[in-house]
Chain A
Amino acid sequence: DAGITQSPRHKVTETGTPVTLRCHQTENHRYMYWYRQDPGHGLRLIHYSYGVKDTDKGEVSDGYSVSRSKTEDFLLTLESATSSQTSVYFCAISWPGQAYGYTFGSGTRLTVV
């Protein structure tokens, strides 16, 4: 779907374990984002990236870290997973210019038990 792939699609993990979610794009777009979606909250921005090794925090960044060592990959790490991080995680890409838009990946459903 528009050259953006998230992996894994589903994951169950135990409280206290580290978890890494991957977002891979083939569009060579500069901007990438991680959102989480929870019932009653819509989508909330966790972290975003302007380019390789250039990232910033979003609205709900506590407990999460990100890395971007290559243009095509944006990794989201839950350093020590908690039950409150059970959610659906979406990656998005964006491109600059007047007609810029945002395209979303298929999502990763993460359950922390």
Chain B
Amino acid sequence: ELKVEQNPLFLSMQEGKNYTIYCNYSTTSDRLYWYRQDPGKSLESLFVLLSNGAVKQEGRLMASLDTKARLSTLHITAAVHDLSATYFCAPNPMYSGGGADGLTFGKGTHLIIQP
């Protein structure tokens, strides 16, 4: 059974600062997704990381994947208030054979960025 652990679960930071969210998972995964969720809204896809060493960047967010360590990170650079949201990681189990079995989510990181 795939277990996913995100750290931290809650993060309050100031604008302009840098920080990293960590996502550890317990079994082999062939890809990993990062999602953003605003209060009362659905999940918005941020990144799909497809292989070991994959790095993707979009604006102030950068995600990376280390499949050997079973670790993904989401790095925030020079945070701004608009990035306040809850962020979820979701590795896709290796046995799923093409995505059919669904994602397993971490509990989410609730990020508050204060002016």
Listed in ascending order, the chain A residues whose CB lies under 8 Å from chain B are: 1, 30-31, 33, 35, 40-45, 48, 50, 56, 58-59, 90, 92, 94-107
Given contacts A50-B100, A100-B98, A101-B33, contact A42 B45 (CB under 8 A): no
User: Is B88 on the interface with A (CB-CB < 8 A)?
Assistant: yes
List 17 contacting pairs A-B, 8 Å CB cutoff, sorted by A: A31-B99, A35-B105, A40-B107, A42-B106, A42-B108, A43-B88, A43-B105, A45-B103, A59-B104, A90-B43, A94-B99, A96-B99, A97-B98, A99-B48, A100-B98, A101-B33, A104-B42
Q: Which of B1-58 contact A (CB under 8 A)?
A: 4, 33, 41-43, 45, 48, 50
Are B42 and A48 closer than 8 Å at their CB atoms? no
Q: Which residue of chain A has the shortest Cβ distance to B37 in the bound complex?
A: A37
Q: Which residue of chain A has the shortest Cβ distance to B101 in the bound complex?
A: A48
Chain B contact residues, majority secondary structure: loop
Are A42 and B101 closer than 8 Å at their CB atoms? no
Given A35-B105, A102-B103, 20 other A-B residues pairs in contact with their CB atoms under 8 A: A1-B42, A31-B99, A35-B102, A42-B106, A43-B88, A45-B103, A48-B100, A48-B102, A50-B100, A56-B101, A90-B42, A95-B99, A96-B98, A96-B99, A96-B100, A99-B48, A102-B99, A104-B43, A106-B42, A107-B42
Are B99 and A100 closer than 8 Å at their CB atoms? yes
Contacts of B105 in A (CB 8 A): 35, 42-44
How far apart are A99's CB and chain B's nearest CB, in angstroms?
A: 8
How far apart are B79's CB and chain A's nearest CB, in angstroms?
A: 22
Q: Which residue of chain B has the shortest Cβ distance to A4 in the bound complex?
A: B42
A74 to B41, CA, bound (A): 21
Are B100 and A102 closer than 8 Å at their CB atoms? no
